[in-house]
């Protein structure tokens, strides 16, 4: 007790004790005075400034210790095949306990990503850990949750197809994703479909639900992800993993593409990889999309589209084939947009001769028709 309080108590003791036995009210006053002094002492202690730097340093130290502990435990699980020994089981048990007793936030979350990245790398399946991951996704609105959702999706697909509940939680977390994270999501879903982990019908449904979020402005944070970007991702993966489905996918999504000129590589690759009458029909739809677009054709796009048309021209030896007949129909029906592409491109005059001669022949035939 501080010296001032000791002196005061002695003084009060010398005054109050002689009459204490004769006065209950004096005793109550003495007790009240003691309480007042104690409360005053406590208030003074609470008003002393707190060193926030010391608190922050302590938090960093605690977080570093947790990360170091996680890394030391993961060393006991070098692979999925080596996860059944007693040391590996004990390490896994401690990792699960540490995860469940920790709070995922921006200040200290590296340890959670480290565990998940390691489990994904060694393909270690653990149902209890998967349940823990989804509990984090369901109860967290942190902006970093989008990255965790991507890793959680990868981990879930090790166990098989997503359940409806898991997909709903992944989809909700993707509201906080960025463009690169969404790209990984589409790749993971497409590859899982290719491996038959999930059905193609499920993949198409997932794509439609993500597009609905993008159209509603609810996909991506802080930057909203537009439907056109997502459609580009979907078509890229469909062309790579399910090339036979590309025409169906393009036909399904083409009306929602806001800049069709930028999709020329998809059309070019699809048709040139296996030239056929059926695939060439997609070119006519694509050219019509460019013509109908509100986006003005620029020189850069014109150069790419001109290069695509040059590449897709059938060989002269196929003059009488069915493919050449279809080609003639396509260039005739889309003369307006093709003429603009040829005009705005920076190709030299020699490269443009084919097109000027082609449309000159068409004009000659039209002028010879009887009135």
Question: How confident is the prediction along the chain (371 residues), in pLDDT tens digits per residue?
Answer: 444 444 444 444 444 444 444 455 555 555 555 555 555 555 555 555 544 655 566 767 878 888 899 999 999 999 988 888 899 999 999 999 988 887 776 677 788 889 999 999 999 999 999 999 999 888 776 767 888 899 999 999 999 999 999 999 999 999 989 999 999 999 999 999 999 999 999 999 999 999 999 999 999 988 899 999 999 999 999 999 999 999 999 999 999 998 999 999 999 999 999 888 889 999 999 999 999 998 888 999 999 999 999 999 987 655 557 888 899 899 999 999 999 999 999 999 988 999 988 888 655 433 333 33
Q: Which residue has the tokens 């593409």?
A: 257
Quote the CA–CA distance of 222 and 214 in Å, as a whole number: 13
pLDDT score, position 147: 87
Q: Which two tokens stand for residue 117?
A: 């990245």
Region class of 162: left (phi > 0), else alpha (psi between -120 and 50), else beta:
beta
Closest CA to 134 of 160, 106, 163: 163
pLDDT score, position 189: 97
pLDDT tens, residue by residue, 196-211 = 999 999 999 999 999 9
pTM of the model: 0.76
Instruction: Look at the alpha carbons of 337, 339, 343, 346 in this order and tell me if their dihedral is positive or negative.
Output: positive
Rg of the chain over all Cα atoms, to the nearest angstrom: 36
Domain boundaries, the chain: 123-258, 264-371
pLDDT score, position 5: 46
pLDDT score, position 126: 92
Omega within 30 of 0 (cis) for the link into 222: yes
Closest CA to 339 of 324, 325, 360, 322: 360
Quote the CA–CA distance of 356 and 352 in Å, as a whole number: 6
Quote the CA–CA distance of 239 and 249 in Å, as a whole number: 9
pLDDT score, position 366: 35
pLDDT tens, residue by residue, 158-197 = 999 999 999 999 999 999 899 999 999 999 999 999 999 9
C-alpha atoms less than 13 angstroms from C-alpha of 212 in its C-beta half-sphere = 8
Q: Tell me 185's DSSP state.
A: H
Count CB-CB contacts under 10 A for residue 198. 18
């Amino acid at each position: 007790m501080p010296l001032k309080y000791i002196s005061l108590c002695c003084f009060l003791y010398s005054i109050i004790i002689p009459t204490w036995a004769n006065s209950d009210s004096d005793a109550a006053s003495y007790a009240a005075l003691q309480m007042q002094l104690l409360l005053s002492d406590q208030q003074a202690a609470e008003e002393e400034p707190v060193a926030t730097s010391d608190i922050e340093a302590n938090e960093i130290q605690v977080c570093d210790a947790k990360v170091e502990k996680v890394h030391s435990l993961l060393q006991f699980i070098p692979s999925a095949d080596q996860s059944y020994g007693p040391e590996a089981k004990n390490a896994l048990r401690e990792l699960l306990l540490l995860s469940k007793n920790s709070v995922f936030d921006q200040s200290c979350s590296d340890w959670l990503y480290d565990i998940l990245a390691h489990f994904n790398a060694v393909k270690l399946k653990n149902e209890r850990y998967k349940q823990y991951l989804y509990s984090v996704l369901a109860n967290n609105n942190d902006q970093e949750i989008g990255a965790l959702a991507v890793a959680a999706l990868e981990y879930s697909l090790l166990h098989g197809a997503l359940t409806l509940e898991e997909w709903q939680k992944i989809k909700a977390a993707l509201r906080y994703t960025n463009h690169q994270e969404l790209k990984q999501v589409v790749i993971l879903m497409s590859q899982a479909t290719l491996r038959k982990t999930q059905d193609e019908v499920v993949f198409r449904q997932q794509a439609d639900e993500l597009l609905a979020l993008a159209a509603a402005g609810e996909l991506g944070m802080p930057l909203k992800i537009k439907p056109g970007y997502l459609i580009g991702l979907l078509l890229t993966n469909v062309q790579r993993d399910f090339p036979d489905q590309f025409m169906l996918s393009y036909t399904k999504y083409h009306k929602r593409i806001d800049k069709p000129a930028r999709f020329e590589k998809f059309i070019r690759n699809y048709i040139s990889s296996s030239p056929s009458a059926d695939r060439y029909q997609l070119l006519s739809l694509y050219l019509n999309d460019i013509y109908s677009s509100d986006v003005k054709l620029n020189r850069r796009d014109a150069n790419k589209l001109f290069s695509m048309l040059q590449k897709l021209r059938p060989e002269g030896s196929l003059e009488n084939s069915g493919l050449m007949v279809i080609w003639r129909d396509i260039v005739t029906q889309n003369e307006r947009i093709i003429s603009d592409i040829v005009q705005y491109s920076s190709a030299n005059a020699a490269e443009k001769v084919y097109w000027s001669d082609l449309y000159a022949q068409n004009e000659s035939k039209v002028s010879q028709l009887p009135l």
